[in-house]
């Protein structure tokens, strides 16, 4: 038995030697004095695996697959919150998320400062209907503490079969209240473009200001947005407010295509830089995009706007195509490359960072608004409530009667100001 284990450990070392030999040689050729002790470290790893398989008390937990997967999970989680080793089921769940149809709670989560937090609940989802809010800390899942829990494990626990029940224990930082939220998993169909309309004019305003909200970026988002813009333009829209608040992101190409609705062809939207040349890439609008009027554009953002939202907002701000109104965004601007392995598992590895066209880094900094406008915690709660389609409580309806979305008001005022300025300039030119 011991000979077989030692042979396996030695074989692992041989494979590692072949894999890293070229890198070690090239480092020496470059004249590096200090080298990462790869051989020694792998020998320790192989010896540890050998001892665990040989002496650990529970033989059911020491298969090569179990130990290797556990080691990979620990290795990836030590890098950053977004690098992960995914079991086959986790990888399939990620693919389902991307395709906008999956069973779950509809809650986008992330790890920040060691805590599992809600980035944004998806509209119409169980989490959204239950009243979960961005920034909520999930401290237990079905009674199991999330302290030191890896993100992949948390996401795996949140997913499940349609109809299954689950209880989340939530700590709300703004009130320090701890509360259990019993939820039922559902099949979630994500509508990414919602609530397109011309905002009702106030005080006799002659301007037609459009409004569109994007909940996340998936495969059909840009096409859906284009169709809504066509409808609003037919209604005489003169300016637009694009709402990206609480939008957690999604597909990079989709975000670039959304930005392309407002920019000329082949315009740089975002670029990435990594350690290797293959990770440095420019992302531009398509060669052929439908030309649209250059109407004033305001984008609403807050600290729940992440990833793809930050790419769109950062690009349109940098290129002077939009006014950003709201709060500094979440700051998730890193690139994860996904490499699938035999058996269906996969590696999700952070390989680069996003930069806006003016070379501003998004990751851990976010995108700052042009016009800062904040909502109180209670106002954010009412904004989320306003977006629900199943309000039955009279008390909730009464709360919304007096609610004023002051961030939206600021955005509307901003684009109206641009329209008024343009009108005055046109009148001056006509008088000359």
Catalytic residues: 307, 318, 332
Q: Which tokens hold the place of 170?
A: 């939530």
CA distance 353 to 280: 9
Q: Which tokens hold the place of 111?
A: 């790890």
Cα within 13 Å of Cα(224), Cβ side: 19
**102: three-class secondary structure by DSSP:** strand
The candidate with the shortest Cα–Cα distance to 182, out of 203, 199, 204, 167, is 167
Q: Which tokens hold the place of 254?
A: 């989709």
Q: What is the DSSP string of 329-355?
A: -----EEEEEEE-TTS-EEEEEEEEEE
Question: Hunting for tokens 């192989």 — which residue is that?
Answer: 46
CA distance 403 to 405: 7
Residues 6+ apart with CB under 8 A from 327: 301, 302, 303, 369, 372, 373, 374
CA distance 4 to 1: 5
CA-CA-CA-CA torsion for 222, 110, 338, 39, nearest 10 degrees?
160
Distances (CA, A) of 246 to 6, 55, 357, 412: 53, 50, 23, 19
Judged on CB neighbours under 10 Å (0-12, 13-18, 19+), 64 is exposed
Q: Which tokens hold the place of 9?
A: 């450990």
Question: Hunting for tokens 């409580």 — which residue is that?
Answer: 393
- The distance from CA 18 to its chain's CA centroid, rounded to whole angstroms, is 38
Alpha-helical (H) ranges within 32-185 are 38-55, 64-77, 88-98, 126-130, 151-158
CA distance 360 to 272: 11
Vertex 270: Cα angle to 268 and 276 (nearest 5): 115
CA distance 25 to 267: 42
């Amino acid at each position: 038995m011991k000979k077989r284990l030692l042979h396996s450990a030695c074989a692992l070392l041989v494979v590692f030697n072949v894999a890293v030999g070229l890198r070690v040689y090239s480092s020496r050729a470059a004249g590096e004095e200090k080298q990462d002790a790869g051989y020694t470290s792998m020998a320790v790893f192989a010896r540890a695996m050998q001892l665990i398989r040989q002496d650990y008390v529970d033989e059911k937990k020491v298969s090569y697959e179990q130990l290797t997967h556990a080691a990979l999970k620990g290795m990836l989680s030590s890098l950053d919150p977004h690098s992960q080793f995914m079991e086959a089921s986790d990888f399939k769940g990620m693919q389902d998320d991307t395709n906008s149809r999956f069973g779950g709670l509809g809650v986008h989560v992330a790890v920040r400062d060691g805590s599992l937090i809600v980035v944004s609940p998806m509209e119409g989802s169980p989490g959204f209907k239950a009243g979960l809010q961005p920034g909520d800390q999930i401290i237990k899942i079905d009674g199991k503490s999330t302290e030191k829990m890896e993100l992949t494990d948390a996401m795996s626990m949140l997913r499940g079969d349609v109809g299954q029940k689950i209880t989340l224990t939530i700590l709300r930082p703004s009130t320090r209240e701890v509360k259990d939220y019993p939820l039922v998993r559902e099949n979630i169909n994500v509508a990414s473009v919602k609530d397109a309309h011309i905002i009702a004019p106030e005080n006799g305003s002659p301007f037609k200001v459009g409004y569109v909200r994007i909940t996340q970026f998936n495969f059909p988002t840009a096409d859906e947005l284009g169709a809504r813009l066509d409808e609003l333009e037919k209604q005489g829209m003169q300016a637009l407010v694009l709402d990206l608040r609480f939008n957690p992101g999604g597909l990079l190409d989709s975000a670039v295509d959304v930005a392309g609705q407002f920019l000329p062809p082949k315009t740089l939207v975002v670029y990435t830089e990594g350690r290797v040349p293959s990770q440095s890439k420019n992302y531009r609008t398509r060669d052929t995009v439908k030309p649209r009027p250059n109407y004033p554009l305001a984008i609403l953002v807050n600290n729940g706007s992440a990833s793809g939202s930050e790419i769109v907002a950062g690009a349109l701000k940098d290129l002077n195509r939009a006014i950003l109104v709201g709060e500094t965004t979440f700051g998730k601007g890193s690139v994860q490359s996904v490499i699938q392995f035999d058996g269906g598992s996969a590696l999700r590895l952070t390989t680069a960072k996003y930069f806006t066209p003016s070379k501003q880094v998004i990751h851990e900094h976010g995108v700052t608004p042009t016009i800062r406008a904040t909502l109180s915690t209670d106002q954010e709660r009412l904004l989320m409530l306003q977006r629900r389609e199943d309000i039955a409580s009279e008390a909730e309806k009464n709360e919304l009667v007096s609610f004023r979305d002051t961030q939206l008001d600021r955005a509307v005022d901003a684009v109206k100001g641009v329209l008024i300025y343009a009108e005055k300039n046109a009148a001056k030119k006509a008088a000359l």
